[in-house]
A and B are shown apart, each in its own frame.
Chain A
Amino acid sequence: MQTLREFTRKTKRGNILKIVREHYLRDDIGCGSDLCQYCFQNEAYQLTSDHEIKSSLFKYPHYIVLDTNVVLDQIDVLEEDVFHNVIVLTTVLNEVKHKSSSIYKRLNEIIHDRTRNFYVFVNEHHKDTYADREPDETANDRNDRAIRLAAKWYDSHLQTSQESKVFQRSGRTATRVILLSDDAGNRAKAEAEGILVSTAADYVKSLEDFPLLVDKLSQKSFENEKQALPQYPPHLSMKELLEGFRQKKLLQGAFQASRENYLEGSVNVENYEKAILIQGRESLNRAVDGDLVAVELLPESEWSAPSEIVLEEKNVYADDVPSEDRVEQEKEMLQQLQTAPVAERTPTGRIVGIVRRKWRQYCGILQPSLIEDTTRHIFVPADRKIPRIRIETRQADKLQNQRIIVTIDSWPRNSRYPHGHFVRSLGPLGNMATENEVILLEHDVPHCKFSEEVLSFLPKMPWTITPEDYAKRVDLRDLYICSVDPPGCTDIDDALHCRELPNGNLEVGVHIADVSHFIRPSNALDKEAAARGTTVYLVGKRIDMVPELLSSNLCSLVGGVERFAFSCIWELDKEANVLAKRFHKSVIKSKRAMTYEEAQVLIDDSSKNDEITKSLRNLNRLAKILKKRRMDNGALVLASPEIRFQVDSETHEPLEVEAKQMRDTNSMVEEFMLLANITVAQHISNEFTECAVLRRHPKPPPTNFDPLVKAARYQGFEVSTETGLELSHSLDKCVKADNPYFNMMIRILTTRCMMQAVYFISGSLQKEEFFHYGLAAPIYTHFTSPIRRYSDIMVHRLLAASIGADSTYAQLLERKSNEEICNNLNYRHKMAQYAGRASVALNTHLFFRGKEEDEEGYVLFVRKNALQVLIPKYGLEGTLYLKSDKDGKDGLERTKSEVVFTFNEEDHTQRCGNVIFHSFDPVTVRLSLDSTNVQHEKLVFRLVKPYIKGFSVETTTEVDPEQPPAKKMNKQKKKK
């Protein structure tokens, strides 16, 4: 049977076309129920009588048909293993796919879980349930009708099956079909048509066995809410917005909430140099960080400047109506801003509509409620950019000291806060596993277990090397190959060898784990690895990019075992000039897996003289030449304070902190990896001019260096930033005899001026732009860590294809898809870095819990009201506030103590009496942890030396009660 679907569509060029599609209706689509005696079932029954949901609303076995709005709003409920025997109509599936791809993905996962008994019924192609669009019927109405039609058909279809004598004799209650819909109109029509129907909320409440499921219901509106007055202006409709954009009355951009001030935010609009400032609750108009919003610019006379006040929302309670004085207070703040000097004013606007919400799930904690036994609570997200969220839960006592996840459902005009619902609990506060989970979630790191499908593409164990493998690969098992890595490393992806050739030259080989042999293009394993992009390292935890079997076993080049490798082999003369190079896949057997320290000991121990030691010494010598040559070319030596934690193996709590040590062997391995990367980059960019995966590091714009140049100038050094080479030379000259750490700090500052290095596809940029600024290399890529970086796998595939070692495939050369992968990799790398830092910060906090320590530090910057202090031992950076904020009681306290700091803008110094703070001056500070805010614990810096009476902490343990330490440390920032 056939019917036609017609629709009109506008093409890009503005033409209007009538499009007609043939639509075939079938009579062989099964209903999927084991009760049915008529249908041809093309797969195993999905709707079985094994599962019965007990509902006080429908006291007989039933199947559930879902309306689209139920799926969209209540996906969290559906994900719970409660609903069984659910019929998912293709109409619903298509609508969900259209409206939200993330929910579609989640729904699909439920459907594919066969234990859940979700049956997809292809109602759009079933001859009895197809609904043709009627005249004067909207697309939505048609879909609703199709859903009702299918529900009705199912019910009567099952009735006829259950009328048989056999069934009646079995004495079972007849199974019915119920429709869940949150659309009142649809429900009314369904009832009129004789369909059993209920709202999702009523149904969930009627479930006898799962009383707690109610918490997960999406809250579009809270019941028996007193209809409060609207607190926000209404949002414009989509149509009005589109029209506004077209007429250029409105601007579109992503909203960024301010971290410091909850009443401020900004919107980045294309073609606008500065972000548009949004101030005040009404102007913010319910935008949440990340949302795509429509902004209306205010007239220039109403523009204002970003406030530099830190404004944190005070605790509020769920039933609290915003008090008059709070409103007053907010107004006052705005008034202050209005008077900002004209020069500082920036374009200011107000948000008039939301184009697309970017709501996700948020981590945070429940705010303790004042009222006992209430179900309404306020949720405080960990991310300060996110507003508090109202939720309803009956498990508040249980959740009180836990990190929980909450999602936003709606934000009605009359509610001060968005409404949301509880999703799940991550675990108790302060617990290492919980906190790690929070870090991963907040940085969007995919960290769930690898799915069965992904694991199915792993090689079967026990894995052996077949004779065919030997035939295809070069046998390097008898070479003296060894690997050098940090201690405790289990994913070893590189190994080295060096041997003397008869002609006096040296042969150096870099052997990289052949991950692309195991991960074949476009299978589920590959896709998962591409999505994850990189392995994420947290303190004491590693989130693998590929399953552990590969990362720690089959791919890892552990000592004494035969492994597949991708080898890059050079012939070098004694001066480290490359005479010849070749690439091939090989079988290697690493003689030894060493740590940096072990390798260093071997090199230094003159009594040793075996093959490995000899080759290490050769490598080390060559590496030094290579490094010098690189430096002469203008490569930068950058520094960032890095630390390692000694972690307790059981509690996972940090025991000790140490700064990372750099040994010769570190730089030895690094040099050869750089050489391999550059060699491979040259090769693949020659072979694939359009689609090679490369990495570039753009030269920063000159203005980026301003803080560095200024800071150095105060110290009497001139830093030239014209070229990398000049910068490198002038950095070398910044040495102060009395301050050994000075050069290091200058380099830390330089690092902050740099741009992010990014992956890209060679065809997308001009050759001149391939440059890697930091390494001073004209071309660069990542080849040496395929176990932990997906980019390296892509490079491996390109290289393998170019030397004929592996088969090619269509996607290999597809620029567009590769570019997309690169973008994802860049994002994942950035997030992985941030997650790593967040993890270090977390561990630093844990380390300082209950401790107070005096540490040597250096002043990194002198600011108007604070000193930025760096503690090299912990790689920590923090702010030592000199003046307290204007608002609040602290100001009074300070005036009492009469310690006044004068800021000299010319040479950036702070003076108090006869003590002067310059940048880079050594100081001693006392570190302690301020745990007053459980979510945002902060490290507090207090000055110890130089001693300023009335400001510094006393070095004696007893603090004079007469002189309260009037320091105020509001926040500490950590950047590394």
Chain B
Amino acid sequence: MAYVALSEAEKTFILHGVEVISSVPLFNSLFKVSLFLQEDFRCDGRSRRDYRPMELETGLVSNASGSARLRLANTDILVGVKTEIDVPNPLTPEFGKIEFFVDCSANATPEFEGRGGSDLAQELILSLQNAYESPLAFDYRTLCLIPGQQCWKLYIDILILECGGNLHDAVSLAAKAALYNTKLPRVTATLLDAGITDLIISDNPYDCTRIGTDAVPLLVTVCKIGDYCLVDPTAEEEVCSTVSMVVSVSMRNETPFLSGTHMTGGGSMHRDTMLNCIQLGLSMGEQLNKLLVKMLKAEETRVGPKRPKTVGFLK
């Protein structure tokens, strides 16, 4: 993780913003009361349940089948989805395959140079795999072409261009957007002798199938600073946190479900805190998901089925 040097005073300042309860004397004509107010006022003015502003763009990598770029304040992620034909795993003959790859660009921070980012990348890959593992979270059947013989394999390549904290959330949002944007060429299968099949692809580049992304999970990092939990930590806040919990939230029938959790940081958590974290994560995940789907749909109607005029960060 990108290292941010903070002094003790700075840490305390952040901590106080999150949790310190200060007594504010309130004067009334009748009696003098002093109220205890929770500050809930982070360095950038957010409350504990607020996300920083996001920028999302899809379909900008023309070579990929689907792509998205997400900028969450200072965190910058680019995701491309490439497709390939593969043979399904014999244990799950009706499932397609997904493979994640995270590349921590040395652009993000000099520490990523060489193999510097591999630990972080590994952690992100693991938490994504964990979140996507359940067939309820991602319908692998939609990726299957011929059970037991041929299926799609999606390569989700994630490039971290800038680190500004809360990588898990940003990465999962970008991945879901890229999957939403992914267009698979329409394939029809013909039966050969001896049960072997052959694939025929449509010659019309616009004749495509989409991937069902309704249930695709999002990761919400719930960060424990002091006694309180908050979402979307900045890089500085992450330094102050002893432990965080990454909650993966998958939506089914408008209800959030937990599809995986993952702890980071050295500290430990009380059972109640953990349940609180999960609750917070689920409710945040639900909101995030709603907003993301809304934005993606809006973008799609704006652009239409045609390729967008290439204006964007790559041009």
**Contact partners of A6 in chain B: CB under 8 A:** 62, 205, 307
From residue B211, how far is it (CB to closest CB) to chain A in Å? Answer: 15
A463: interface (CB < 8 Å)? no
B198: interface (CB < 8 Å)? yes
Q: Which residue of B lies closest to A248 (CB)?
A: B193
A14 touches B199 (CB 8 A): yes
Q: Which residue of B lies closest to A138 (CB)?
A: B204
Complex alpha-carbon distance, A139 and B203, angstroms? 8
B241: interface (CB < 8 Å)? no
Complex alpha-carbon distance, A877 and B310, angstroms? 77
Q: With contacts A10-B199, A16-B85, A18-B65 known, is A243 near B190, CB below 8 A?
A: yes
From residue B306, how far is it (CB to closest CB) to chain A in Å? Answer: 6
A308: interface (CB < 8 Å)? no
B201 touches A18 (CB 8 A): no
A4: interface (CB < 8 Å)? yes
Residues 122 to 157 of chain B near chain A (Cβ within 8 Å): 150
Complex alpha-carbon distance, A243 and B191, angstroms? 9
From residue B170, how far is it (CB to closest CB) to chain A in Å? Answer: 26
Complex alpha-carbon distance, A395 and B310, angstroms? 61
B84: interface (CB < 8 Å)? yes
A20 touches B63 (CB 8 A): yes
Q: Which residue of B lies closest to A142 (CB)?
A: B204
B278-308 vs A, CB cutoff 8 Å, 1 = contact: the mask equals 0000000000000000000000000001110
B172: interface (CB < 8 Å)? no
From residue B194, how far is it (CB to closest CB) to chain A in Å? Answer: 10
Complex alpha-carbon distance, A132 and B63, angstroms? 17
B206 touches A16 (CB 8 A): no
**Contact partners of A18 in chain B: CB under 8 A:** 63-65, 83, 185
**Contact partners of A135 in chain B: CB under 8 A:** 206, 305-306
Q: Which residue of A lies closest to B64 (CB)?
A: A18
A136: interface (CB < 8 Å)? yes
A1-20 vs B, CB cutoff 8 Å, 1 = contact: the mask equals 00010111110001110101
B85 touches A15 (CB 8 A): yes
B1: interface (CB < 8 Å)? no
A134 touches B306 (CB 8 A): yes
Contact of B307 among A4, A9, A14 (CB under 8 A): A4
From residue A140, how far is it (CB to closest CB) to chain B in Å? Answer: 10
**Contact partners of A243 in chain B: CB under 8 A:** 190
From residue B156, how far is it (CB to closest CB) to chain A in Å? Answer: 15
A10 touches B201 (CB 8 A): yes
**Contact partners of B187 in chain A: CB under 8 A:** 16
Complex alpha-carbon distance, A137 and B85, angstroms? 26
Q: Which residue of B lies closest to A19 (CB)?
A: B63
Q: Please give the number of chain A residues whose Cβ is less than 8 angstroms from any Cβ of chain B in the complex.
A: 23
A971: interface (CB < 8 Å)? no
Residues 4 to 32 of chain B near chain A (Cβ within 8 Å): none
Q: Which residue of B lies closest to A139 (CB)?
A: B203
**Contact partners of A100 in chain B: CB under 8 A:** none
Q: Which residue of B lies closest to A136 (CB)?
A: B206
Q: Which residue of A lies closest to B150 (CB)?
A: A14
A542: interface (CB < 8 Å)? no
B91: interface (CB < 8 Å)? no
A133: interface (CB < 8 Å)? yes
B33: interface (CB < 8 Å)? no
**Contact partners of B37 in chain A: CB under 8 A:** none
B205 touches A133 (CB 8 A): yes
Q: Which residue of B lies closest to A9 (CB)?
A: B201
From residue B300, how far is it (CB to closest CB) to chain A in Å? Answer: 13
From residue A245, how far is it (CB to closest CB) to chain B in Å? Answer: 10
**Contact partners of A651 in chain B: CB under 8 A:** none
A360: interface (CB < 8 Å)? no
B62 touches A247 (CB 8 A): no
**Contact partners of A134 in chain B: CB under 8 A:** 206, 306
From residue B277, how far is it (CB to closest CB) to chain A in Å? Answer: 41
B192: interface (CB < 8 Å)? yes
Q: Which residue of B lies closest to A15 (CB)?
A: B85
Residues 771 to 808 of chain A near chain B (Cβ within 8 Å): none
From residue A95, how far is it (CB to closest CB) to chain B in Å? Answer: 14
Q: Which residue of B lies closest to A135 (CB)?
A: B206
**Contact partners of B83 in chain A: CB under 8 A:** 16, 18
B62 touches A4 (CB 8 A): yes
From residue B143, how far is it (CB to closest CB) to chain A in Å? Answer: 13
Complex alpha-carbon distance, A10 and B199, angstroms? 9
Complex alpha-carbon distance, A601 and B64, angstroms? 84
Residues 11 to 46 of chain A near chain B (Cβ within 8 Å): 14-16, 18, 20
B172-211 vs A, CB cutoff 8 Å, 1 = contact: the mask equals 0000000000000101001111000011011111100000
Complex alpha-carbon distance, A135 and B206, angstroms? 5
Q: Which residue of A lies closest to B309 (CB)?
A: A3
**Contact partners of B305 in chain A: CB under 8 A:** 135
Q: Which residue of A lies closest to B315 (CB)?
A: A2
Residues 83 to 128 of chain A near chain B (Cβ within 8 Å): none
**Contact partners of B64 in chain A: CB under 8 A:** 18
A246: interface (CB < 8 Å)? yes
Q: Which residue of A lies closest to B145 (CB)?
A: A16
**Contact partners of B306 in chain A: CB under 8 A:** 132, 134-135
Q: With contacts A16-B187, A18-B63, A20-B62 known, is A8 near B205, CB below 8 A?
A: yes
Complex alpha-carbon distance, A854 and B306, angstroms? 85
Residues 74 to 103 of chain B near chain A (Cβ within 8 Å): 83-85
Complex alpha-carbon distance, A139 and B204, angstroms? 7
A14 touches B85 (CB 8 A): yes
Q: With contacts A134-B306, A138-B204, A247-B191 known, is A16 near B198, CB below 8 A?
A: no
**Contact partners of A136 in chain B: CB under 8 A:** 204, 206
From residue B185, how far is it (CB to closest CB) to chain A in Å? Answer: 4
A245-268 vs B, CB cutoff 8 Å, 1 = contact: the mask equals 011100000000000000000000
Complex alpha-carbon distance, A126 and B241, angstroms? 60
A16 touches B205 (CB 8 A): no
**Contact partners of B205 in chain A: CB under 8 A:** 6-8, 133
From residue A338, how far is it (CB to closest CB) to chain B in Å? Answer: 31
Complex alpha-carbon distance, A243 and B84, angstroms? 24
From residue B139, how far is it (CB to closest CB) to chain A in Å? Answer: 21
From residue B208, how far is it (CB to closest CB) to chain A in Å? Answer: 9
B84 touches A8 (CB 8 A): no
Interchain residue pairs with CB less than 8 A apart (21): A4-B307, A8-B185, A8-B201, A8-B202, A8-B205, A10-B199, A10-B201, A14-B150, A14-B199, A16-B84, A16-B201, A18-B64, A20-B63, A133-B206, A135-B305, A136-B204, A136-B206, A137-B204, A138-B204, A246-B193, A247-B192
- Chain B residues engaging chain A, CB cutoff 8 angstroms: 62-65, 83-85, 150, 185, 187, 190-193, 198-199, 201-206, 305-307, 310
**Inter-chain pairs besides A14-B199, A15-B84, A18-B185, 18 sampled, C-beta below 8 Å:** A6-B307, A7-B203, A8-B201, A9-B201, A10-B199, A16-B84, A16-B85, A16-B187, A16-B201, A18-B63, A132-B306, A133-B206, A134-B306, A135-B306, A139-B203, A139-B204, A246-B198, A247-B193
Q: Which 3 A-B pairs have the closest CB atoms?
A: A135-B206, A8-B185, A135-B305
